Amino acid sequence: MAPERRRELQDERVRRLVADVFARPVPLLRRKLEDAGVDDPRAIGGVDDLARVPLTVKQDLRDSEAATPPWGEYRFTDPRECVRLGTSTGTTGTPTITVWTRHDLWIEYEAAARTWWRMGHRPGMIATHAHPAYLYAGGMMLQSAYEYFGFLTVWVPPPDTDEIAEQGLRMWTRVRPDIPFMGFSTGRFMEVAAARGIDPAQAGLEFRVPPGFGLGKGMPLMTAGAECFAYLGGGCGRSPGAHLAEDWAVVQAVDPTTGREVPDGEWGDLVVTTLDRDNGLLRYDLEEAAAIVREPCPCGETTIRGMWGGRYKDLLHVQGTRIMLAELEGALRSVEELTSPSIEYQVVRPREDHAPLHLRVEAPDPSDQLRQRVRAAIADATGVTAEVELLARGALPRSGYKAVRVVDT
Ligand SMILES: [Zn+2]
């Protein structure tokens, strides 16, 4: 779709969203609009007027659910019109509840399909994943989006224990996925494969860099979280960043003090307004860093591209700079002895700005010489002075999904 035509569609969908906030009404969002002097939905004519709409953050949703349990005052539909419920992981307080109607799920499936098609995947391929499920809706979302796309999916359990990891590995040696497993727990599977004498290649396991990673700054902006838009975009692979599903979202990099967008290519707060959903979010600030590029892409897609710079709560503020955990992990990966069969480390969240960054890293063969090389790799990649503690393999806790890398002590 030509960018001008798509802008018309966005404007029309923004107007409908704001009209719904007043008509249903959606009290949390209506109050925010009225406090900003918008007391008539016609005052918001489209995307250009979104700068007038106050931002909403996760804590607003949490507070609303606490004040008016269990749903809060930010839903557009009766929850009983929805067909699926999921919660956030709750790592930062009481988990918030997300509900999806059939239509909302369909938007996610279609947006996910674009991403996989862009990556060269096609219906009829065998895919696999190890996402957790039940109240955490991520596994169900991925599984159903895979099925909608037409993959045959081998859903193995998250490798919480060595025994469970082995079940998944054995299954992959029987039904080998066409698309190798790629996830937060790849390292866990590699580690258990080594311990149980399973050849990772027989299980189709390999470390692969997804399309678009390593191009330009940050990472491709692929998601705005399950509570907002899980499959927001997909890595272009040719140019830096991810092409964004603009027909279903207005994605902005915003200066939170002014509410206005920062210049193209600069980091701002990732702010997403979902479009055409039954349960939408208006100017949702994910408290993550994003940069937007609007120049035409040589790949032929017409949508804007987004880069992701990390969650603010995951940024390490140390020695007068901010570093992303991914940068630190990249530095560790450059030291080969630390990477086989998996890389395991913990960072102590910095408290004093000038103190060295404290890291614990597992190494098969700890030595003072190796410790110095790790320190040098970190200094090279981030400019930060680190105090490195090398530990024997198996000393740090393991996780079947997202490992806890930043600890308080
Ligand atoms: Zn492109």
Q: How close is the Cα of 310 to the center of ligand 1, in Å?
A: 21
Query: What 8-state DSSP symbol labels residue 249?
Result: E
User: 112 C-alpha to center of ligand 1: Å?
Assistant: 16
Environment class of 382 (CB within 10 Å of its CB; exposed 0-12, middle 13-18, buried 19+): buried
pLDDT given for residue 213 in this prediction? 74
d(CA 273, CA 265): 20
Between the CA of 302 and the centroid of ligand 1 the distance, in Å, is: 8
- Residue 153 CA to ligand 1 centre (angstroms): 28
CA of 209 to the centre of ligand 1 (A): 17
205-218 pLDDT, tens digit per residue, is 987 777 777 777 78
Tell me the residue type at 260. R
Q: 248 near 6, Cβ under 8 Å? A: no
Using the mean position of ligand 1's atoms as its centre, give its distance from the Cα of residue 142 in Å: 24
Q: How confident is the model at residue 252 (pLDDT cuts 50, 70, 90)?
A: very high
User: 101 in helix, strand or coil?
Assistant: coil
**What is the structure's pLDDT at 99?**
98
Task: Find the 396 Cα to ligand 1 centroid distance in Å.
Answer: 40
pLDDT value at residue 70: 97
- The predicted model gives 175-193 an average pLDDT of 93
Distance 239 CA to ligand 1 centre (A): 6
What spacing in Å lies between the alpha carbon of 120 and ligand 1's midpoint?
14
Least confident of 143-152, 318-327, 341-350: 318-327
Q: What digits encode the pLDDT tens for the residues 275-294?
A: 999 999 999 999 999 999 99
Give distance in angstroms: CA of 304 to centre of ligand 1. Answer: 9
Percent with pLDDT over 90 in the chain: 85
Q: Report which DSSP code applies to 156.
A: P
Instruction: Read off the tokens for 310.
Output: 């990390």
Of 219, 201, 200, 197, the closest CA to residue 210 belongs to 219
How close is the Cα of 216 to the center of ligand 1, in Å?
Answer: 13
Q: Report the alpha-carbon distance of residue 304 to residue 289 in Å, rounded.
A: 16
Centre of ligand 1 from the C-alpha of residue 240, in Å: 8
Ligand 1 mean position to 243 CA, how many Å?
Answer: 6
Helix, strand, or coil (residue 124): coil
CA of 39 to the centre of ligand 1 (A): 40
Q: What pLDDT is recorded for position 326?
A: 84
As given in the structure block, the two tokens for residue 379 are 């200094």
Between CA 18 and CA 290 the distance in angstroms is 24
What are the CA-CA distances from residue 233 to residues 113, 198, 221, 321, 366 (Å)?
10, 35, 6, 29, 41
β-bridge partners, 321: 318
Q: What is the pLDDT of residues 353-379, one digit of tens each?
A: 889 999 999 999 999 999 999 999 999
Picking from 209, 228, 263, the residue whose alpha carbon sits closest to that of residue 96 is: 228
129 Cα to the center of ligand 1, angstroms: 26
- Tell me how far the alpha carbon of residue 307 lies from the centroid of ligand 1, in angstroms: 13
CA of 238 to the centre of ligand 1 (A): 6
**298 C-alpha to ligand 1 centroid (Å):** 6
Cα–Cα distance for residue pair 64/71, rounded to 1 Å: 8
Q: pLDDT band for position 2 (50/70/90)?
A: very high
Query: Number of H helices and number of E strands within the chain?
Result: 9, 18
Distance 303 CA to ligand 1 centre (A): 8
Ramachandran bin of 197, using left for φ above 0, alpha for ψ from -120 to 50, beta for the remaining angles: left
Q: In this predicted model, what pLDDT tens digit does every residue of 52-109 receive, in sequence order?
A: 999 999 999 999 999 999 999 999 999 999 999 999 876 667 899 999 999 999 999 9
Phi, psi dihedrals of residue 178, rounded to the nearest 5°: -70, -30
Burial of 343 (0-12, 13-18, 19+ CB in 10 A): middle
Distance 118 CA to ligand 1 centre (A): 9
pTM given for the model: 0.92
Centre of ligand 1 from the C-alpha of residue 3, in Å = 14
Distance between Cα 150 and ligand 1 center (Å): 24
Distance (Å) from CA 119 to ligand 1 centroid: 11
Residue 89's closest CA among 98, 80, 81, 76? Answer: 98
Ligand 1 centroid, distance to 220 Cα (angstroms): 11
CA distance 270 to 222: 12
What's the gap in Å between 229 CA and the centre of ligand 1?
A: 20
Q: Where are the beta strands (DSSP E) in 315-385?
A: 316-318, 321-323, 345-348, 357-362
